[in-house]
Amino acid sequence: MTDEQILSFTKNAPTPLYVFDLGELEKRVAFLRSCLPEKVELCYAVKANTFIIEKAAEIVDLLEICSPGEYRICDRLSVPHSKFVVSGVNKQADFIDSAIASDEPAAYFTAESVNQFHMLRDSAEKHHKRISVLLRLTSGNQFGLDKDDLFDVIARYKDDPWVGITGIQYFSGTQKNSLKKLKRELDYVDTVLSELLEKHSYAASKLEYGTGFPVSYFDGETFDESAFLEEFSKLLSDMTFKGMITLEIGRSIAASCGTYLTRVVDTKVNCGERYAIVDGGMHQIVYYGQFMAMKHPKIRRIAAGAAESETHDAENAAAADCNCGAGAESAAAADWNICGSLCTINDFLVKKFPFADLRIGDILLFPSAGAYCVTEGIALFLSRELPGVYLLDTDGSIRKVRDQIPTEKFNST
Ligand SMILES: Cc1ncc(COP(=O)(O)O)c(C=O)c1O
CA-based nearest residue to 370, from 215, 218, 145: 215
Same domain, residue pair 379 and 264 = yes
pLDDT band at 10 (very low <50, low <70, confident <90, very high): confident
Residue 149 and residue 211 share a domain: yes
Residue to mutate (ligand 1; options 171, 208, 215, 229; most atoms within 8 A of CB)? 171
- CATH of residue 131's domain is 3.20.20.10
pTM over the 0.85 mark: yes
204 by Cβ neighbours in 10 Å (0-12 / 13-18 / 19+) ranks as: buried
Mean pLDDT in residue range 302-328:
47
Helix axes 225-237, 179-200, angle to 10 degrees: 20
Residue 72 in any domain: the answer is: no
Task: Tell me the three state secondary structure of residue 392.
Answer: strand
Could you tell me if residue 49 is inside a domain? no
DSSP state of 384: P
347-391 pLDDT per residue, tens: 999 999 999 889 999 999 999 999 999 988 788 999 999 999 999
Domain count, the chain: 2
Q: Answer for the pair 293, 349: CB distance below 8 angstroms, yes or no.
A: yes
How far is it, in rounded angstroms, from Cα 30 to Cα 7? 29
User: Is 308 a residue whose pLDDT tops 60?
Assistant: no
Range name among 59-63, 155-159, 263-267, 378-382 with the lowest pLDDT average: 378-382
Residues 222 and 363 in one domain: no
Q: Ligand 1 centre from 309 Cα, in Å?
A: 43
Question: pLDDT averaged over the chain?
Answer: 92
Ligand 1 centroid to 211 CA: how many Å? 8
Report, as an integer, the average pLDDT of 296-311: 74
The pairing of strands 388-392 and 398-402 is antiparallel
Are 341 and 391 in a shared domain? yes
Please check the confidence at residue 203 and state whether its pLDDT lies above 70. Answer: yes
Residues with CB under 6 A from ligand 1: 45, 47-48, 64, 87, 171, 174, 210, 212-213, 248-252
Which of 249, 279, 313 lies at the terminal end of a domain, its last residue? Answer: 249
Query: What integer is the mean pLDDT of 73-87?
Result: 97
The confidence score (pLDDT) of residue 307 equals: 52
Q: Is residue 55 part of a domain?
A: no
Give the DSSP H or E segment for 222: none
Q: Same structural domain for residues 302 and 284?
A: yes
Percent helix, strand, coil in the chain (nearest 5)?
Answer: 35, 25, 40
Q: Are 404 and 284 part of one and the same domain?
A: yes
Q: Which of 249, 276, 302 is the last residue of a domain?
A: 249
- Nearest one of 330, 392, 389 to 355, comparing CA atoms: 330
Of 217, 232, 249, the residue that ends a domain is 249
**Residue-level pLDDT at 207:** 98
CA of 36 to the centre of ligand 1 (A): 18
Give the three-class secondary structure for 209.
Answer: strand
Check pLDDT > 90 for residue 292: no
Contact (CB, 8 A) for 140 and 179: no
Task: Residue 88: give the domain boundaries.
Answer: 80-249
